[in-house]
Amino acid sequence: MKVTEVKKYIPQLDIKKSKAKCPKCRSNNLLILEKSIHYQEWEQIDGLIDHVEGYMNSGDVIGTWGTCKSCGHSWIFKSLQITGLFIE
């Protein structure tokens, strides 16, 4: 099904066209994992700890990994963030 057809039925989905392909078999059926540093902020005063920042706030992206669903090949993308894979 084409992206435009999916958006017609589920318009709230934020589906993006990707230029990513498996470097081994050229398939565009991929599992893409963008890893980032997550953090929680806590404050201790007089021996008592209080949760300051929300749970698991996103931090800096540390890399994007791909696994081909067709051949099983895994690799690290040159683009640090997944947004670098989008076709505008």
Alpha-carbon distances, residue 51 vs 16, 37, 43, 57, 64 (angstroms): 36, 18, 7, 13, 30
Structural domain count of the chain: 1
| DSSP structure string for 57-74 | EEEEEEEEEEEETTT--E
- What local confidence, expressed as pLDDT, does residue 24 receive? 97
Write out the residue range of the structural domain in which residue 77 sits.
16-85
CB environment 9-24: b (16+ within 10 A), e (fewer): eeeeeeeeeeebebee
- What local confidence, expressed as pLDDT, does residue 68 receive? 95
- What local confidence, expressed as pLDDT, does residue 71 receive? 97
- What local confidence, expressed as pLDDT, does residue 23 receive? 96
Cβ neighbour number for residue 79 with a 10 Å cutoff: 16
Give per-10-residue mean pLDDT for the chain (88 aa): 68 77 95 83 79 64 92 92 78
Asked if residue 59 is part of any domain, the answer here is yes
